[in-house]
Amino acid sequence: MFFRGRQPEASIWRRFRVSADGFTFVQEDEHYTAHVVANAERVVDLFYTFTEQLGPAVDVVLEDLRSGRTWKGEALALPDVREAIARLKILLARFGGIELSVFTADDQLTLNPYLELFIYARSDRWLYLLEGKGLEEQQHLRTKSWKTNRQQFPAAPDLVNAVTAAVERLGLQPA
């Protein structure tokens, strides 16, 4: 088998990963900000995985740039929100165009329409969580070069339908 050998799995992954995988981490006043750039699937997966680190009740804001609609929900059960995100993961990674924020009083995770992850927090714990996922801290990141105008996201009826179903399942209200 090609991947057999004495090297640990993490170093194999590092050898073949895209060099753009990384994050910036800065402290501004009394909060920390992380910006994560990697391939689409990895960013969406990190977003989903990191939601597990939030409290049992979260607030959600979801904006669909294709339909121009925004919804919000407060004090939602984290397992329900994670289930909704899990159902959207593949479509989000494929099409983008959705801004999804999940937050508590201390932490906020935001997946932007261009599939970059932003983390805002009152503590520096996210630095260690990002490093634990094999990402490297960098001074500057190259943002996604394939950014498009907000109105130019390709049609994605499957994603729009999945978002509508998630909004109904979570009981989100128009913002």
> Does 169 reside within a domain?
yes
> Does 60 reside within a domain?
yes
pLDDT for 17 equals 44
pLDDT for 12 equals 42
For residues 82-86, average pLDDT: 98
β-pair partners for 37: 22
Enclosing domain of residue 107: 20-141+153-174
> Does 12 reside within a domain?
no
Burial class (CB in 10 A: 0-12, 13-18, 19+), 144: middle
Mean pLDDT of the chain: 87
pLDDT band per the 50, 70, 90 thresholds, residue 62: very high
pLDDT per residue over 130-141, tens digit each? 999 999 998 877
Contact between residue 25 and residue 34 where contact means Cβ atoms under 8 Å apart: yes
> Does 10 reside within a domain?
no
Give how far Cα 128 sits from Cα of 37, 124, 132, 133, Å.
16, 8, 6, 9
Number of domains in the chain: 1
